[in-house]
Amino acid sequence: MGAKAGTKAAAPFPAQEHDHGHCATSAMDRAAAICAARGVRLTELRRRVLELVWTSHRPIGAYDILAQLGGPDRPAGPPTVYRALDFLQENGLVHRIASLNAYIGCPDPGHAFAPGIMICEECGRAAELHDSAADNALSRAAAAAGFAITRRTIEMVGRCRDCAAQAA
């Protein structure tokens, strides 16, 4: 795809008052479809973990998920959650944010490259950024250095549009 068509800036950060319940359930539907298509099992546990990731509208840590999984009486173990998260990552349904040790739901699975992630340090929300110009530039530069990329992490910390507007 070309650099022009590749830049996709459509509402990366959802509006503060958007219907988050809706986008979570539609994400679950997409996830079910993807798992069916790939012949992998979106089990009850995995579904619940994915829901928790989506229900939080900001990056959520593994131990936050853990705390919400089993209730206070019957807590789940860390491997339970990490295995589910691994599965969801492998299938492109969530992204891990290395600089936060946290996870977000992927609103748009099926991209060739992992997206860049923008993290607002004021409101704490995170959003994806797909930009083929940057993808291409990075790939070219790495190739020029003789480096073959297999996996990529791009994370940006800053201030989102809403927070900037509110500050003004």
Neighbours of 37 (CB within 10 A): 8
Residues 82-121 that bind DNA (CB under 7 A): 82-84, 87, 101-102
Q: What does the alpha-carbon distance between residue 114 and residue 127 come to, in Å, rounded to a whole number?
A: 13
Select from DNA, a copy of itself, none the partner in contact with residue 36, using the beta carbon and a kind-dependent cut-off of 5 to 8 Å: none
- Residue numbers at the binding site for a copy of itself (CB under 8 A): 3, 6-7, 9, 12-13, 98-99, 116, 118, 120-121, 127, 129, 131, 133-134, 136-138, 140-142, 144-161, 164
Which one of a copy of itself, DNA, none is in contact with 76 (Cβ closer than 5 to 8 A by kind)?
DNA
Binding mask 49-88 for DNA (x = CB under 7 A): ------------xxxx---------x-xxxxx-xxx--x-
Task: Pick from 18, 38, 41, 111 the residue near DNA by CB under 7 A.
Answer: 41
- From residue 80, give the alpha-carbon distance in Å to each of 69, 100, 164: 10, 20, 39
* Smallest separation, CB 107 to DNA (Å): 21
24 binds DNA (CB under 7 A): no
Closest by CA position to 114, among listed 124, 126, 106, 122: 106
Chain CA centroid to CA 101, Å: 12
**Half-sphere exposure of residue 122: CA atoms within 13 angstroms, side-chain side:** 10
Q: CA-CA distance, 80 to 5, in Å (whole number)?
A: 40
Binding region for DNA (CB under 7 A): 40-41, 43-46, 61-64, 74, 76-80, 82-84, 87, 101-102
